[in-house]
Amino acid sequence: MDVFTVGIITLFAATAVFYIVLFSFIFYWHLKKISFVVIPAVFAFEFLAICFLIVVIVTIIINYLPNLIRVAGI
């Protein structure tokens, strides 16, 4: 398995964890109308959005690193 596949699997796992957390917050919000539940949901979304971008950027860099090295002549 190459690095790109591992990155994609990691990305899908992080997305699944995000949706599990988000839907559990939504379910809890439906049961208890408490405003402090919304703030962690927003922070969880922000955290996982940033993690998504980091994983994507690192995966793209690692995937195309051999081509960049070959073009640079190093």
Question: Are residues 20 and 12 in contact, defined by beta-carbon separation less than 8 angstroms?
Answer: no
Query: Which pLDDT belongs to residue 66?
Result: 85
Give the structural domain span for 27.
3-72
Report the pLDDT value the prediction gives residue 34, as an integer from 0 to 100: 59
- pLDDT tens-digit map of 19-52: 787 777 777 766 666 566 666 767 777 777 787 7
19-41 per-residue burial string, b: 16 or more CB within 10 A, e: under 16? eebeeebeeeeeeeeeeeeeeeb
Please give the tally of structural domains in the chain: 1
Average pLDDT over all residues of the chain: 76
